[in-house]
Structure 1
């Protein structure tokens, strides 16, 4: 897998014309048009959901940090992370206690445009979680016990209901970074967890290495058309590619065994299909 920053139309045309090189890696089996269409729609939906829930957690965290009791609870180890839930009014972020049976301690609702709706609140008394919240909290805790090869000392966790109306949870482990301009896509994982939130059914990496994409310095940003990466594990771009493109606020070209793709504003479009894939 490799990545570059595309800074000219000439480099972009070279990318589009270049054949896919798998570097002695096993390439995914070819897929039909219907499978491609479904995979792209699923990746777009999941990638945007990951982004919105991750951003909501970040915005809510900033909001509750202004509450003195939250800071005190954090220092004393009374908090056990957060869970998010899409509701009509926005994404509700609930910060839970670190008890064996977690309870709600703080809440904030974040709108689709990334603003806190009303105020972040400290509950007068820790409240019992709803069934949804409790299972989501269990899924988050279960994910924290997973064994994987980390690419960062810091990881963010996004817990979502399983895609395609399946029961259970999809938990995404996303490497964090404090380096300006770095997009730490390497080391991203998805864990499929059962409906109870207590058992890992499947675990997958989205990369084979700790690859990181680098955005150009701000004075060079206007020259950059997009970032480029080759992806060997799937025939089409995945939800993680959509997420990191949104996170970086930069279009991303992805080369796979099926073709070359552009991700822009959370949408995936085909740039060119490889000849072998069209026969």
Structure 2
């Protein structure tokens, strides 16, 4: 029997039943925020998946990345005409600047076009270099953010703004395949190597199990959210990682939202209570 996992004390039976109720329309400004969260959350997930799978493939070719000088990686979206998916470029410091040590394209099923580069063979493009240099920008400023894990995953990609800025996400990794971290995620906007904006997504660390003590698998996850009036890209990312709907209760406007996949794409909608 499937169950819905709630983490809010005292939730009523009527609220639980409301999770299946139809959504109502959003105003245009709010809808734009929602669509942006859907887009960013899916993008983070796809970039992170590409990094994960290509790392495994890279280690088959470079048994000791540190000895090969690998400092990190950046991910490029690949056009459908070129095979689609996402290319991860693992870079090192070369004689003339940052250069590729290894690259591979993850198409959503497997890693293709894996290639190891000789010294000086493949300099990073200007876009790749900007992303690589932005990865360390979050650590150049003082914040009161507390990391929730000794390890941290980093994802960087263009914001899509006309100024050419980049988003750098610091993400708490999954402690285990059956656990989803909702806390410990941060976003930094970087322009010309400088952090121009940043935010946290929760006020504390929070990890949710995908199985109950009885071994049951939940039908959905539910979480309260204090910092925004709508779900964020992190709720979308968590839904995709968990492969379960996530119901978000935004306390500022006392609304319940469903975050789930519809026709293979993330969808955020309100539900009647």
Q: State the TM-score, normalized to the length of structure 1.
A: 0.80
Q: Distance in 2 between matches of 1:125 and 1:12?
A: 63
Q: Corresponding residue for 2:185?
A: 188
Q: Distance in 2 between matches of 1:62 and 1:85?
A: 18
Q: CA deviation at 1:215?
A: 1.2
Q: Corresponding residue for 2:201?
A: 206
Q: Corresponding residue for 2:89?
A: 94
Q: Corresponding residue for 1:254?
A: 248
1:113-128 counterparts in 2 under 5 A? 113-118=108-113, 120-126=114-120, 127-128=122-123
Q: Distance in 2 between matches of 1:56 and 1:248?
A: 17
For the structure 1 residues 102 and 188, does the alpha-carbon distance in structure 2 shift closer, same or farther, using more than 3 Å as the test? same
Q: Deviations over 1:177-209 (max 9, x none)?
A: 333422111110000000x2x100111000000
Q: Deviations over 1:91-145 (max 9, x none)?
A: 110000146932111000111x242123x21013342111110101111122344
For the structure 1 residues 251 and 165, does the alpha-carbon distance in structure 2 shift closer, same or farther, using more than 3 Å as the test? farther
Q: CA deviation at 1:165?
A: 5.0
Verify the 8 A CA contact 1:183 1:215 in the aligned structure 2.
Answer: yes
Q: Deviations over 1:41-99 (max 9, x none)?
A: 000001000000000000100111111xx22332x371111000112132110000146
Does residue 48 (structure 1) correspond to residue 42 (structure 2)? The answer is: yes
RMSD: 2.5
SS at match of 1:159: strand
1:1-279 counterparts in 2 under 5 A? 5-6=5-6, 13-15=14-16, 33-67=27-61, 70-74=62-66, 76=67, 78-88=69-79, 89=83, 90-98=85-93, 101-111=97-107, 113-118=108-113, 120-126=114-120, 127-147=122-142, 148-194=145-191, 196=192, 198-217=193-212, 219-221=215-217, 224-256=218-250, 257-258=252-253, 259-265=255-261, 266-272=266-272
Of residues 262-271 and 98-107 in structure 1, the stretch that sits farther from structure 2 once superposed is: 98-107
Verify the 8 A CA contact 1:55 1:114 in the aligned structure 2.
Answer: no
Verify the 8 A CA contact 1:161 1:167 in the aligned structure 2.
Answer: yes
Of residues 259-268 and 32-41 in structure 1, the stretch that sits farther from structure 2 once superposed is: 32-41
Residue ranges of structure 2 left out of the alignment (5+ in a row): 20-25
Dislocated runs of 4+, deviation >6 Å: none
Q: Distance in 2 between matches of 1:78 and 1:237?
A: 40
Residue ranges of structure 1 left out of the alignment (5+ in a row): 19-31, 274-279
| Larger relative helix fraction | 1
For the structure 1 residues 267 and 106, does the alpha-carbon distance in structure 2 shift closer, same or farther, using more than 3 Å as the test? same
Q: How many residues align?
A: 246
Of residues 39-48 and 90-99 in structure 1, the stretch that sits farther from structure 2 once superposed is: 90-99
